[in-house]
A = this chain, B = another copy of it.
Amino acid sequence: MARFFMAGSNIRGGTAVIHGRDAEHVHVLRLRPGEDVIICDGEGTDYKCRLVRADREEAEAEVLEVVRCPAEPSVAVTVLCGLPKGERSDYIVQKSVEAGAREILFFQAKRCVAKMENAEKKLDRWQRIAEEAAKQSGRGIIPKVGWAGEFADMLDRAVHTELPLFLYETGEREPLNAVLEANKTTASAAIVTGPEGGFEEYEAKLARIAGLHVCSMGERILRCETAPVVALTALMYATGNLS
């Protein structure tokens, strides 16, 4: 069913009014009066509606039912990635939204080859990818994409969640599944992954000192764009959000 994100203020007294780009989209999809659409307020609530009028500039729909968006996971996950090169960041944004992230932030790690230049343009692009992925996967919010800054700023973000996880490839680590099994009812979590070259040892040490769980995901070395999606999926599975 076609899905639109719209501020709650446009839904009043059992009627939703669809303007602008969304009204055009209704037109392009050739949706006619009598057909059903879902209007999401972007805060996790779905309004199941039936179109009563569909013009190119404006459409109107009657609200049939109001439900909590069933696709929203019970855990709010912030994905924090060392900024990778090229299209890998696009990929991370798209797949993290599909897999259920609440927020995707990039940060500067020691081994980042990429630099955060043209920040505004990049953030715009990532946010558009997130919106597209949110619509397509049936999310109840549009996850925010942003820039977390330096490594220390990233740590600060991570420790403000209940379960901050730092994925690291070598050395002393907790197995990810042991940490997840002990935290099945967590309400919020962070997943921190490195850039192409991984993390420096001192970065892992800093993360441990800050109170993050330094975790292993087995012996297979994952690419920097694969690791966040795999960790996010494991977290969704362990917290009962993948069934």
Contact = CB atoms under 8 A, between A and B. Distances in A.
A238 interface: yes
Interface string A209-243: 00000001111111100100110011011101111
Copies of the protein in its oligomer: 2
A121 B100 CA distance: 36
Q: Which of A222, A223, A240, A243 has the most CB of B within 10 A?
A: A243
A100 to B, nearest CB: 6
Contacts of A243: 175-178, 216-218
A219 B99 contact: no
A195 interface: no
A233 B107 CA distance: 25
Given A71-B221, A99-B226, A138-B219, 9 more contacts: A98-B220, A99-B222, A99-B230, A100-B220, A137-B221, A138-B221, A177-B237, A229-B230, A234-B237
- 7 smallest beta-carbon distances between A and B, as pairs: A175-B243, A71-B219, A70-B219, A177-B243, A233-B233, A71-B220, A234-B237
